[in-house]
Amino acid sequence: MKTTLAERLEAIRAESGVPAIAALIGDSKGIRDFAAVGVRRAGTREAVRPEDPFHIGSCTKAMTATAAARLVEQGKLRWETTLADALPQLKPQIHRDYHAVTLRQLLYHRAGLPEDRTADPILFLRLRGLTGDIRQQRLEAVKLVLEKKPAHAPDAQFAYSNFGYMVAGAMLEQATQSSWEQLMQAYLFKPLRMRAAGFGPPESIAGHRGKPPRPQMFDNPPVLGPAGTVHCPLREWAAFARLHLQGARGEKNALLRAESFQTLHADSYQQDYAMGWVLRRVGTERRLLHAGSNTLWFAMAHIAPERNRFYLCAANWGHPDAQNAVVKVIESLSE
């Protein structure tokens, strides 16, 4: 007898020790299957609920790039808009080698910023100490990040940079005079009916660290929102994944033109990374995927345009065991 998605998830959850794990299968028409198993908080019996949000970490990057595409379509920004043009008030305070860096280069991780998958504890401490209006905090953070000479010449090489997406977010804010959080709500969450989407650690379900998993409420500094602070239920995240599946298949959608998706998904630098998406080939099929974690959660999105499928999975534990469990789920669903 064929096992259900919930049964498959429970077997993987029990084997890995993940407190809660959820997965979803969808196509360009909508959701085909969904399940969530486990508990909201380790050491308790309160079961995870279908409407519970999961923190998606760096999967937020594709959302920031999508909002940028909407602004480009509206003529409020260009892909080739430079930092000096977008943030003229910061020009005297950032290194001159960053002045000509473009929005496109930031979203492709080619701005010359150093690779920063491992956080700089001193810089993070300074970022956590910022107060006041979030837009002003981001401008202060941009100055801190860009005051030093680039790690390498802009556009010369790929270096995964969370701070690059933060800088891009500040450019979007300057172009609209709205915070990145307000832009997410207006440009993505509202039109996609992602009503429970928000920022930072969700309140109803805890993230976990260590082994065994210990519940904690923690997140990246708020200024890093454009790089990875969104949380949402998987059924709502599905609306965003479906949008990109439709775009990758050349189908009409509610938000963006076909050429915008072509730009967002293009491997222009032959680096297997587009704007917020890792690019892969499975045989002759193209795939768009990304993972995200704030060390307490782990999430992954996988889009298979030729199959007309997308797959989402998230766990409320950032440990490598949980990461392996999520990858195992995604691989089992997409193979």
Per-residue model confidence as pLDDT tens digits over 1-18: 689 999 999 999 999 999
Q: Does residue 179 carry a pLDDT above 70?
A: yes
Residue 68 lies in a domain: no
256: left (phi over 0), alpha (psi -120 to 50) or beta: beta
Are 147 and 188 in a shared domain?
no
Q: Are 219 and 55 in contact (CB under 8 A)?
A: yes
Structural domain including 301 reads 5-62+183-334
CATH number at residue 269: 3.40.710.10
Are 260 and 324 in a shared domain?
yes
Output DSSP code: residue 70: H
Are 95 and 120 in a shared domain?
yes
pLDDT for 299:
98
Enter the tokens of residue 269: 């630098």
- pLDDT confidence of 51, banded at 50, 70, 90? very high
Are 57 and 201 in a shared domain?
yes
Are 215 and 128 in a shared domain?
no
Residue 253 lies in a domain: yes
Q: What is the pLDDT averaged over residues 19-36? A: 98
Are 240 and 318 in a shared domain?
yes
77: left (phi over 0), alpha (psi -120 to 50) or beta: beta
Q: What is the pLDDT averaged over residues 131-155? A: 95
Are 216 and 289 in a shared domain?
yes
- Lowest mean pLDDT of 73-82, 95-104, 209-218, 266-275, name the range: 209-218
Are 166 and 293 in a shared domain?
no
> Is 232 in a helix, a strand, or coil?
strand
Residue 47 lies in a domain: yes
- pLDDT confidence of 128, banded at 50, 70, 90? confident
Are 89 and 220 in a shared domain?
no
Residue 243 lies in a domain: yes
Mean pLDDT of the chain: 96
pLDDT for 1:
67
Residue 69 lies in a domain: no
Q: What is the pLDDT averaged over residues 162-182? A: 98
- pLDDT confidence of 254, banded at 50, 70, 90? confident
Are 22 and 141 in a shared domain?
no
Which domain-ending residue is among 158, 177, 196?
177
Residue 67 lies in a domain: no
Residue 72 lies in a domain: no
Q: Closest Cα partner for 127 from 105, 103, 143?
A: 143
For the chain, the domain total comes to 2
Q: What is the pLDDT averaged over residues 165-188? A: 98
pLDDT for 126:
87
Q: How far is CA 160 from the centre of its chain?
A: 13
Are 325 and 248 in a shared domain?
yes
Render pLDDT for 181-233 as a digit per residue (tens, 0 to 9). 999 999 999 999 999 999 999 999 999 999 999 999 888 899 999 999 999 99
Q: Does residue 22 carry a pLDDT above 70?
A: yes
- Lowest mean pLDDT of 116-120, 143-147, 149-153, 235-239, name the range: 116-120
Which domain-ending residue is among 177, 198, 224?
177
Render pLDDT for 278-287 as a digit per residue (tens, 0 to 9). 999 988 999 9
Are 151 and 129 in a shared domain?
yes
Which domain-ending residue is among 140, 158, 177?
177
